[in-house]
Amino acid sequence: MALVLNEDEVMMRDMAQGFFAEKAPVKALRVLRDTQDETGFDRALWADMAGMGFAGIVVPEEHGGVDMGYLAAGLVAEQMGRNLTASPFLSTAILAATALKHGTDEQKSEWLPKIASGKAVIALALDEGVKHNPRGTATTAEPSGNGFKLNGSKAMVVDGHVADVMIVAARTSGEAGDAEGISLFLVDPKSKGVATERTIMVDSRNAARIDLDDVEVSGDALIGTLDGGMAVLDAVLTAGRGIAAAELLGAGAQAFEDTVAYIKERKQFGQIIGEFQALQHRSSHLYSELEIARSAVIGALTALDEGDEKASAYCAMAKAKLGSVAKLASQEGVQMHGGVGMTDEYDIGLFMKRIRVLQELMGDAHYHMNEFAVANEF
């Protein structure tokens, strides 16, 4: 496993670094928030990102993507984390693209080019309760005519209120709690019976609740096999967790660097507060945690690209580790900023908010620790 970036990867990282710092820095998120932007991201930015190849980063070349793999995608996500950039990258370029790679030829031909070109925003409608729990899917899809009829409610659907199409997990057999019996469907949000409510979250980013009331879809809306949706979901969530971990790494590292810069400037008691050994040791501990966390992200995404059989476990472990470490970075960040860390004026609070949401998405640290134990039979 190569744990050092190769030339292409270094180039991708540097390109992403320059791009987001210029086009979508933290203040861009502030503007979206303060203007109560209805889309929740900047469509022009998303078009630019597509132009850079970011939207099609895991889409095969035959479908118009650049197919650079998940480690490269992680380098992009890391820079988005550093800049708190709002975009449909996670929902569309990662989750939906990964799902649709498991679709029929027709589905691939229809949607993957639209993803790569930035022309479609696609949302994954999975979670229902307050916590991530794929096996807990209770939304039903009953046979109806040539297709299915969907009923249920989804929450925390990222980019759900602006999606051109949604991928909905629904139960075609079994009961909530079973891994088997879940199927994935492409659902047009404009279909009869779909009610979408944008939910404004603490991080000012996109999420929605979706109610499905006798929503009819045709038989060719099915992605993957009937009742076998969990296999596709596993692949989708593995990728999503790895990329979320990469974004957490970026957000955590930036929060840390902002904090170190702050304590090098701020004076109290006639001293630069960065001179206080207690803060030095806590900073050095956090530095160590972030270095360990970086290895987890690189290792997980490399395993994913290499088709390692443990990739799923590794991405989950990386998500767990980054959830904890980035949270610590934001907590130490606010505390070391002192009073100004509590003000909206400084960015550190925005990092705390985004990190909280990211660590919750697709399973928090506790969830993955538990899954780790289950997978290792203890």
Partner 1 sequence: MSDLDTFRMEARTWLEANCPAEMRTAETSDKDACWGGRNFKFKSEAQKVWLERMVAQGWTVPTWPKEYGGAGLSRKEEIVLLQEMKRINARNPLSSFGIWMLGPALLKFGNEEQKAEHLPPIARGEIRWCQGYSEPGAGSDLASLKTKAEDMGDHYIVNGQKVWTSYADEADWIFCLVRTDNTGKKHHGISFVLFDMASEGVEARPIKLISGRSPFCETFLTDVKVLKKNLLGEEHKGWSIAKYLLTHEREMIGGGNEAARPLHELAAGSLGLEDGKLADPMLRAKIAEAEIDEWAFNLTMKRKLAEAKAGASLGADSSMLKYYGTELNKRKYELMMDATGHEGLEWESDRSNDGKMARSWLRTKGNSIEGGTSEVQLNIISKHILQLPGA
Give me the residues that bind its own copies (CB under 8 A), please. Answer: 276-278, 280-281
Contact 50, 12 (CB under 8 A): no
Smallest distance from the beta carbon of 23 to partner 1, in angstroms?
25
**Contacted entry of partner 1, its own copies, none for residue 295, CB cut-off 5 to 8 Å set by kind:** partner 1
Instruction: Output the smallest distance, CB 281 to its own copies, in A.
Output: 4
Q: Scanning the structure block, which residue is given the tokens 């939207």?
A: 55
Q: CB under 8 A: which stretch of 46-54, 102-110, 144-152, 335-343 binds partner 1? A: 335-343
**Using CB distances below 5 to 8 A depending on partner kind, what does residue 369 bind out of its own copies, partner 1, none?**
partner 1
Q: Mask: binding to partner 1, 254-293, rule CB under 8 A, as x and -?
A: ------x--xx--xxxxxx-xxxxxxxx-xxx-xxx-xxx
Nearer to partner 1, 49 or 304 (CB): 304
Residue-wise burial string across 155-179, b where 16 or more C-beta atoms lie within 10 A, e elsewhere: bbbbbbbbbbbbbbbbbbeeebeee
Contact by Cβ (8 Å): 73, 57: yes
Question: CB of 333: closest distance to partner 1 in angstroms?
Answer: 10
Residue number with CB closer to partner 1 (143 or 340): 340
Q: Which does 309 bind (CB under 5 to 8 A by kind): partner 1, its own copies, none?
A: none
- When asked if residue 129 is in the footprint of partner 1 (CB under 8 A), the reply is yes
* Shortest distance, position 282 Cβ to its own copies, whole Å: 8
| CB closer to its own copies, 39 vs 335 | 335
Taking alpha carbons only, the member of 139, 50, 65 closest to residue 97 is: 65
140 vs 283, beta carbon nearer its own copies: 283
Confirm if 223 and 107 have CB atoms less than 8 A apart. Answer: yes
What is the gyration radius of the CA atoms in the chain, in angstroms? 21
* Cα gap 70→128, rounded to integer Å: 27
User: Min. distance of Cβ 328 from its own copies in angstroms?
Assistant: 16
Fill in the per-residue mask, 346 to 375: x = in contact with partner 1 (CB under 8 A), - = not in contact: ---xx-xx--xx--x---xxxxxxx-xxx-
CB atoms within 10 A of CB 281: 10
Minimum CB separation of residue 335 from its own copies in Å reads 13
Q: Does 10 bind partner 1 (CB under 8 A)?
A: no
* Interface positions, 200-259, toward partner 1 (CB under 8 A): 200-204, 207
- DSSP per residue over 22-83, as a string? HHS-HHHHHHHHHTT-SSSS-HHHHHHHHHTT-TTTTS-GGGT-----HHHHHHHHHHHHHH
Kindly identify the residues of this chain, within the stretch 154-193, that bind partner 1 according to CB under 8 A.
Answer: 155-156
- Backbone angles phi and psi of 207, in degrees to 5: -160, 155
Check: CB of residue 115 under 8 Å from CB of residue 165: no
